[in-house]
Amino acid sequence: MTPRGRRPVGSDTRAAILASARDLFAEVGYERASIRGIARRAGVDAALVHHYFGTKDELLAAAVDVPVDIGAVAEAAFEDRARAGEVLIRSVLAIWEVPEFRSRFLGLVRAAVTHPGAASMLREAIVRGPLRDVTRRIDLPAAQLRAELAATHIIGLMMGRHVLQIEPLASATPDELARAIGPALQRYLTEPDLVV
Amino acid sequence: MTPRGRRPVGSDTRAAILASARDLFAEVGYERASIRGIARRAGVDAALVHHYFGTKDELLAAAVDVPVDIGAVAEAAFEDRARAGEVLIRSVLAIWEVPEFRSRFLGLVRAAVTHPGAASMLREAIVRGPLRDVTRRIDLPAAQLRAELAATHIIGLMMGRHVLQIEPLASATPDELARAIGPALQRYLTEPDLVV
């Protein structure tokens, strides 16, 4: 018999922990959500949360999981440093062509502008995920700000293309956009004389 | 005596028409909202809507009014074409320093990502307002797409700075951001060899 308020171990438990994590991150934000609080909400022991997901950082990554390895995307972008900006935006645009990824990300943005807690969750997910992956490859001063300038340009592009759907931007091909935007990102990522 | 369902003429009527316009634009979007439908909702004659606000375009501008003359901002930016990007972003950042303007714009973005109708309203407001003001000053092919690339960069900056509040971007001074972002906008606005 399962103890009162405890769920059986297995894939249901894993899903219950993830759901509780998403709820609590969105309600109170990343900083104030605790593994203990998430465990309580899921009706499991905190040790089980650690067992399935490791650290709070890793649980966050799983909770907002878009099944794309951004570390690999960043690595590929910087293989040819002189083309990092264009390769990066090409990868991002290719990812967005997949409706499932796009809708997952739009759902996060929607939550972020509506709930401050969700904004904190999305901020941490971006800062600890894609931003860190890109930042660590920038071998220049103000690496984090540079990565953020590139990231916000990309987020704005997504807003214009998929939320506001402004034409001709929304109908432009990924190739057209990559050639137009690549150099702007390139400058943020690799131009030494960027004044920041 | 006032006829049934009719409001007295005056500032109350003007406010009622504006409120009905905001509601209907947000509910069904710009294209499907009619002057007649807005008038009906406000309990006034359609002629009165035209009397107070002119065309549907003008009513939209009043409904999403941020009391900043973007036409003048765009004109000032292009006074020295070689510095258009930097002057434009400096103006935008100065406007955002005013909490009232910032919260008004954030409210629109919040509505846009939540309600498709509001997204349509915001799209039309941007396309018929700031985008048109900037586009008409770009004397190069693909002027509209160029203005949109600049606009989405600015929208993304706003998201990163005021919604996600990513550091160090959120705490960077307007001057630091203007120097970092100005050249990217400059390229969109005036670089002939931009591939679009």
Of the residues A124, A146, A165, A166, the best mutation for testing chain B's interface (the one with the most B CB atoms within 10 Å of its CB) is A166
Q: Do B166 and A112 touch (CB under 8 A)?
A: no
3-state secondary structure A131-192: HHHHHCCCCCCCHHHHHHHHHHHHHHHHHHHHHCCCCCHHHCCHHHHHHHHHHHHHHHHHCC
pLDDT value of residue B3: 46
A121 to chain B: which residues are within 8 Å by CB? none
- B113 or B157, higher pLDDT: B157
What is the residue extent of each domain of chain A? 11-63, 70-190
Distance of CA A50 to the CA centre of its chain: 21
* DSSP 8-state code for residue B64: T
Chain A: closest CA distance from residue B106 (Å): 8
Average pLDDT of the segment spanning B166-179: 94
Report the CATH architecture of A11-63: Orthogonal Bundle (1.10)
User: Which residues of chain A are within 8 Å of residue B126 when distances are taken between CB atoms?
Assistant: 164, 166
Contact B187 A188 (CB under 8 A): no
CATH for B70-190 (3.40.50.10680, 3.90.1150.10, 1.10.357.10, 3.30.1340.10):
1.10.357.10
Residues 144-183 of B with CB under 8 A from A: 144-145, 148-149, 151-157, 159-161, 163-166, 168-169, 172, 176, 179-181, 183
Look at residue A3 in the predicted model and tell me its pLDDT: 46
Q: Could you say which DSSP state residue B80 is in?
A: S
Q: Which of A119, A6, A155 lies closest to B155, judged by CA?
A: A155
Query: What is the pLDDT averaged over residues B111-133?
Result: 80
Query: Is the complex ipTM higher than 0.90?
Result: no
Q: How far apart are the first and last CA of chain B?
A: 62
Name the residue facing A119 among B119, B163, B180 (closest C-beta). Answer: B163
DSSP at A7: P
Chain A positions touching B184 (Cβ under 8 A) are 153, 184, 187-188
pLDDT value at A2 more than 50: no
Whether residues B110 and A114 touch (CB distance < 8 A) is answered with yes
With a cut of 90, say whether residue A90 has pLDDT above it. Answer: yes
B11 to chain A, closest Cα gap in Å: 32
CB of B140 within 8 A of CB of B192? yes
**A and B: number of Cβ contacts within 8 A:** 137
pLDDT of A138 over the 90 cut: yes
> What's the gap in Å between the CA of A3 and the closest CA on chain B?
41
Give the closest of A122, A145, A172 to B169, CB-based: A145
Q: Of residues B119 and A7, which shows the higher confidence score?
A: B119
CB contacts, 8 Å: B127 with chain A: 166
B168, A145 Cβ separation under 8 angstroms: yes
Query: In terms of pLDDT, which residue wins out, A108 or B15?
Result: B15
**What percent of chain A is modeled with pLDDT above 70?**
92
pTM to 2 decimals? 0.79
How close does chain A come to B133, measured CA to CA in Å? 15
What's the token pair of residue A117? Answer: 């807690």
Q: Does A62 touch chain B (CB under 8 A)?
A: no
- Chain B residue with CA closest to A123: the answer is B164
- Give yes or no for residue A179 having a pLDDT over 90: yes
Closest chain B CA to residue A29: B164
Kindly report the nearest CA distance between residue B114 and chain A, in angstroms.
6
Which runs of E-coded beta strand occur in chain B? Answer: none
pLDDT at B118: 77
**Locate tokens 């987020």: which residue?**
A155
Quick one: pLDDT at residue A104?
75
Q: Is the pLDDT of residue B86 over 70?
A: yes
Sign of CA dihedral A78, A84, A85, A90: negative
| Contacts of residue A99, Cβ cutoff 8 Å, sequence gap at least 6 | none
Residues B150, A193, B162, A28: what is their CA dihedral angle, to the nearest 10 degrees?
A: 130
Per residue in A19-45, pLDDT (tens digit) is: 898 888 877 777 788 999 999 999 999
Q: Tell me: the pLDDT tens digits for A58-82?
A: 888 788 776 667 778 888 899 999 9
Q: Are A119 and A158 in contact (CB under 8 A)?
A: no
- B168 confidence band (pLDDT: 50, 70, 90): very high
- Close Cβ partners of A131 (under 8 Å, ≥ 6 residues apart): A144, A147, A148, A151, B166
